[in-house]
């Protein structure tokens, strides 16, 4: 097992359990550090409390008393816990450092990390980069915000393996010395302002991904995003831009026919399975990170001619009787649905609706040019009906749920149509998660005859 190095703390509070907190607590205990765990929702009778107590941790559950800060030198917090938490506010007053679990992972395997962040596209880029490396016989494993705890992967990472981390702003806000060997910054749009309070705070958190890098490290960034371009002017790393619009002497770029890394042709654009300009950006970013890590053109080609998308993120589902079905249930906001709609030029039947958060949908109007029909469900269907009427869409159907929406869309479709689920809304009015909603879409598509 790998040991923490240059770790000057002997008394640590792990605030919040879940997967990352549990892994952090176990790692710290195994490194002979006194660990106190505090979690609001866990109960004393839970198995994890018994396990951590047996390992030697002091566990406080059910509330967040300020007494948990006694003798504490460092806090490892769950990324989702806001900094307004009373324990964290008091810790800040006392000058106690507050980090997230990825800081510990970085301590274990600093020179093997590819870190990927952005408001959109993180998961796709992380998966593509990992696959490109593995297909090139450059072993790599995914972790981080993608669902696998970084410290767990870091402890078992082989000496020849890379760790590809999907990193959220919540995770990046809590770093001290963490730095990836290769950082990727895809884009920065307004998001999570309920947590970060201001766009400036959110942007600063995202840019933490490269703040500790040196000239021996690399920063792959989107040369067509003004916020990103402005941000990287402070970077000390060797910069590698990517662009979907113009040639780049020292970066990754694309013309009408091919994709290039610097002056080297990688592959023909027509052979790529994944649709959408936003995914083309993700592809270029992945190629940059993968090539810098030793990926081959053959490995990259193999991935891009077979990878059809992350589940629930503009995911190709089926081609049936010359109709093509795409599941974009992860599109829980207007920006994501804009990206989905502009990915297609052929006639589209759009399935949308869900939880009403009080917002309007007028910003979708410019993206409805190719939409021939809409099938609407959920709390927002009346608002979306008005949007469709404003767009001059003649065929507007209202149904109860996604299952009925698929059936109705198929009835309305003709050969060469796209049938697209991209709800522009959260799922919680009818489904527990966007995954459940997307799975219902997929299941129903597969029952069509």
Q: What CATH number does the domain containing 32 carry? A: 3.40.50.720
Rounded Cα–Cα distance for residues 449 and 444 (Å): 10
Q: Per-residue pLDDT tens for 67-93?
A: 999 999 999 999 989 999 999 999 999
Let me know whether 241 and 365 are in one domain: no
Q: Per-residue pLDDT tens for 355-407?
A: 998 889 999 999 999 999 999 999 999 999 999 999 999 999 999 999 999 99
Domain stops at, among 48, 74, 99: 99
Cα distances from 298 to residues 134, 137, 376, in angstroms, run 11, 11, 43
Residue 97 near residue 165 (C-beta atoms within 8 A): no
Residue 40 near residue 64 (C-beta atoms within 8 A): yes
Let me know whether 115 and 163 are in one domain: yes
Predicted pLDDT at 169 = 93
Question: What is the biggest distance separating any 2 CA atoms in the chain, rounded to whole angstroms?
Answer: 69
Rounded Cα–Cα distance for residues 415 and 413 (Å): 7
Let me know whether 264 and 217 are in one domain: yes
| Burial readout 35-58 (b: 16 or more C-beta within 10 A, e: otherwise) | bbbbbeebeeeeebbeebeeeebe
Rounded Cα–Cα distance for residues 99 and 147 (Å): 19
Let me know whether 117 and 62 are in one domain: no
Predicted pLDDT at 111 = 84
Is residue 216 domain-resident?
yes
Q: Per-residue pLDDT tens for 230-285?
A: 999 999 999 999 999 999 999 999 999 999 999 999 999 999 988 888 899 999 99
Rounded Cα–Cα distance for residues 213 and 176 (Å): 12
Average predicted confidence (pLDDT) for the chain = 95
Rounded Cα–Cα distance for residues 327 and 418 (Å): 11
Find the CATH number of the domain harbouring 385. 3.90.190.20
Q: Which residue range(s) make up the domain with 436?
A: 315-445
Segment 130-156 mean pLDDT: 95
Let me know whether 325 and 235 are in one domain: no
Cα distances from 120 to residues 14, 183, 185, 348, 438, in angstroms, run 29, 15, 10, 23, 18
Is residue 56 domain-resident?
yes
Domain stops at, among 304, 331, 358: 304
Is residue 121 domain-resident?
yes
Number of residues written out for the chain: 449
Number of domains in the chain: 3
């Amino acid at each position: 097992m790998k040991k923490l190095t240059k770790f000057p703390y002997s008394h640590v509070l792990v605030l919040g359990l879940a997967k990352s907190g549990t892994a952090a607590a176990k790692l710290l205990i195994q490194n002979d550090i006194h660990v106190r765990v505090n979690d609001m929702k866990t109960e004393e009778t839970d198995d994890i409390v018994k396990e951590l107590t047996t390992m030697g941790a002091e566990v406080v559950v059910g509330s967040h008393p300020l007494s948990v800060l006694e003798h504490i030198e460092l806090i490892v917090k769950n990324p989702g816990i806001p900094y307004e938490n009373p324990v964290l506010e008091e810790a800040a007053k006392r000058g106690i450092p507050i980090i997230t679990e990825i800081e510990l992972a970085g301590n274990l395997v600093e020179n093997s990390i590819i870190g990927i962040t952005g408001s959109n596209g993180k998961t796709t880029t992380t998966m593509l980069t990992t696959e490109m490396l593995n297909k090139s016989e450059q072993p790599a494993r995914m972790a981080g915000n993608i669902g696998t705890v970084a410290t767990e992967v870091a402890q078992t990472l082989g000496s020849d393996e890379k760790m590809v981390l999907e990193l959220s702003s919540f995770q990046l806000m809590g770093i001290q010395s963490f730095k990836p060997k290769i950082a990727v910054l895809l884009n920065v749009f307004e998001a999570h302002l309920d947590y970060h309070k201001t766009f400036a705070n959110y942007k600063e958190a995202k840019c933490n991904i490269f703040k500790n890098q040196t000239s021996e490290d690399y920063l792959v960034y989107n040369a067509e995003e003004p916020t990103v371009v402005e941000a990287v002017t402070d970077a000390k790393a060797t910069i590698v831009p990517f662009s979907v619009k113009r040639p780049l002497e020292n970066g990754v770029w694309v013309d009408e026919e091919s994709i290039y890394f610097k002056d080297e042709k990688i592959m023909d654009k027509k052979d790529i399975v994944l649709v959408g300009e936003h995914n083309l950006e993700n592809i270029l970013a992945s190629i940059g990170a993968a090539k810098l890590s030793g990926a081959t053109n053959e490995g990259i080609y193999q991935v891009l001619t077979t990878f059809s998308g992350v589940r629930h993120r503009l995911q190709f589902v089926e081609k049936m009787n010359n109709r093509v079905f795409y599941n974009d249930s992860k599109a829980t906001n207007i920006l994501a649905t804009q990206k989905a709609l502009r990915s297609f030029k052929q006639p589209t039947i759009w399935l949308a609706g869900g939880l009403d958060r009080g917002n309007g949908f007028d910003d979708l109007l410019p993206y409805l040019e190719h939409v021939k029909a809409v099938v609407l469900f959920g709390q927002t269907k009346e608002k979306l009906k008005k949007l469709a009427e404003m767009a001059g869409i003649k065929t507007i159907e209202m149904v109860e749920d996604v299952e009925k929406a698929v059936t109705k869309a198929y009835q309305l479709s003709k050969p060469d149509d796209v049938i697209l689920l991209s709800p522009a809304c959260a799922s919680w009015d009818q489904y527990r998660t966007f995954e459940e909603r997307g799975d219902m879409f997929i299941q129903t598509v597969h029952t069509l005859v």
